[in-house]
Amino acid sequence: MRERFDVVIAGAGPAGAQCARDLAERNYEVLVLESEPEDGFPRQSNKSTAGTFMSAMTGFAIPDDVVMNYTDNVVLESPNDHYVRNQTGAVLEFAEFKQWLVSEGRDKGATYRFDSRVSAPIMENGEIVGVRYDGDEEVYADIVIDATGPAAPLAKELDVCNLQRNHQAIGVEYEFEGVEVDHDDYADLRDAMMLRLDHDLAPGGYSWIFHTGEDTAKVGLCYIQNGSHQKYAKDGMGIDDYLEYWLDSDPRFDDAERIEGTQAHRGSAHIQPPDSMSTDNFMAIGDTVPTVDPLWGEGIHKGMKSARAAAATADSALKPDEPDTSAENLSVYDQLWHSEVAPKHNARLMMTELLYLAPNERYDQLMDDLRSTGQDTLRQINGGDRRAIAKLTHLSDMPILVEYARRRLDI
């Protein structure tokens, strides 16, 4: 007989595990298939800086046990200036956070199978009805959810997502001790998450220092592999070279050493608008969509919100006496994504592109602009308010706007 669940989820990241947690709490039979072995999980996918804000902590009841450090401020740095915004947040121990989510789901009744790589959808009459994993293993479900991130084996096969290489951001991060987080020549980074805009260090992207307590910090950088990166990149340098270059040139790292026993955190995500997110019997969540915050790369909260929207949609579709998992009915998830998960996403993507097109001297000016307009402006920009974006625009930005318009036309 066919093995069958109400919902099968591919991937046990924050989005997949949260979706399983929500659905199991509603008493649905849920199976999560995760490609990594359980022993050491998540060794291969321990790739997130795991900085988030209190809205995620309270909204999803994330416990103190998985927090490395609570932070009071967000600091934006440019090559020669900085701006401080008071905003509380948390830097999570990402591996322990993922393990906690899995434990939560299991406690509520979700089934997990590790070392189980999903390879392809099972199709009947043009619709997905299950998945193949581990070669010839099969499992069937009323609803299948792809939460595998950029790999997206199901979403790609179903033409639900169209992840483009020139919109892919790649990142690398290490955990250090001996970091001088209160250096006289820089902003005070004690209990802070810092993001630095500087094409010399991260062409077409940004670098970061997230304080994790005492003299320890998560230190990394990322960039989008697009025209901005090509314009500012140094010949022959890859992402590891840029991180090493920053470590060698910034005095805050003069006495810094990698914390013994920690591994590099490597990851990728796509910064682009989603084409679609669902079809008959199927939804895609988390970085499969993609869902990562286009401005600052925060993915945990957005991914978990997309998971909650998908779980609510699945609950609505499966609850009636005659369940309806048609594309039309599951498109409620798409609507929730645009209204609740990532409202004004296109405006925020526009700000991202404009930001990375700007030269280093404009970043210095941006810090001064933010100080003069007040903290509400940055909050409004983060919310995709085009009028707030216009407040920071100068006549001298015309070449950047022209370049942005040209790239839009090329697309």
DSSP assignment of 21-67 equals HHHHHTT--EEEE-SS-STT-SSTT-----EEEHHHHHHTT--GGGE
Mean pLDDT of the chain: 91
Distance CA 65, CA 67 (A): 6
Task: Please name the CATH architecture into which domain 4-47+95-163+274-341 falls.
Answer: 3-Layer(bba) Sandwich (3.50)
**92 or 46: whose pLDDT is higher?**
92
Mean pLDDT over 186-209 rounds to 96
**pLDDT tier at 132, thresholds 50, 70, 90:** very high
> What per-residue confidence (pLDDT) applies to 294?
58
Closest CA to 285 of 303, 312, 267: 303
pTM of the entire predicted model: 0.92
Distance CA 204, CA 198 (A): 9
Helix (H, G, I), strand (E, B) or coil at 158: coil
Confidence check: pLDDT of 407 > 80: no
**pLDDT tier at 129, thresholds 50, 70, 90:** very high
Distance CA 310, CA 251 (A): 46
> What per-residue confidence (pLDDT) applies to 295?
62
**201 or 352: whose pLDDT is higher?**
201
CA-CA distances (angstroms) from residue 376 to 200, 388, 389, 394?
A: 29, 9, 12, 19
Confidence check: pLDDT of 46 > 70: no
Q: Is the peptide bond before 42 cis (omega within 30 degrees of 0)?
A: yes
> What per-residue confidence (pLDDT) applies to 128?
98
Closest CA to 251 of 223, 209, 222, 214: 209
Mean pLDDT over 197-221 rounds to 96
- Chain segment 265-293, per-residue pLDDT in tens: 888 887 777 888 999 999 999 989 877 77
**pLDDT tier at 94, thresholds 50, 70, 90:** very high
**pLDDT tier at 299, thresholds 50, 70, 90:** confident
How much of the chain is helix, strand and coil, in % rounded to 5? 40, 25, 35
- Chain segment 134-166, per-residue pLDDT in tens: 989 999 999 999 999 888 999 999 999 887 777
Annotated domain spans of the chain: 4-47+95-163+274-341, 67-92+166-269, 345-410
- Chain segment 226-260, per-residue pLDDT in tens: 778 889 999 999 999 999 999 999 999 999 999 99
Instruction: Give the tokens for residue 146.
Output: 């792809």
Confidence check: pLDDT of 411 > 60: no
Instruction: Identify the CATH class of 67-92+166-269.
Output: alpha beta
**pLDDT tier at 359, thresholds 50, 70, 90:** very high
> What per-residue confidence (pLDDT) applies to 41?
87
**pLDDT tier at 215, thresholds 50, 70, 90:** very high
**pLDDT tier at 404, thresholds 50, 70, 90:** confident
> What per-residue confidence (pLDDT) applies to 296?
66
CA-CA distances (angstroms) from residue 85 to 69, 195, 312?
A: 18, 12, 34
Confidence check: pLDDT of 38 > 90: yes
Distance CA 257, CA 41 (A): 25
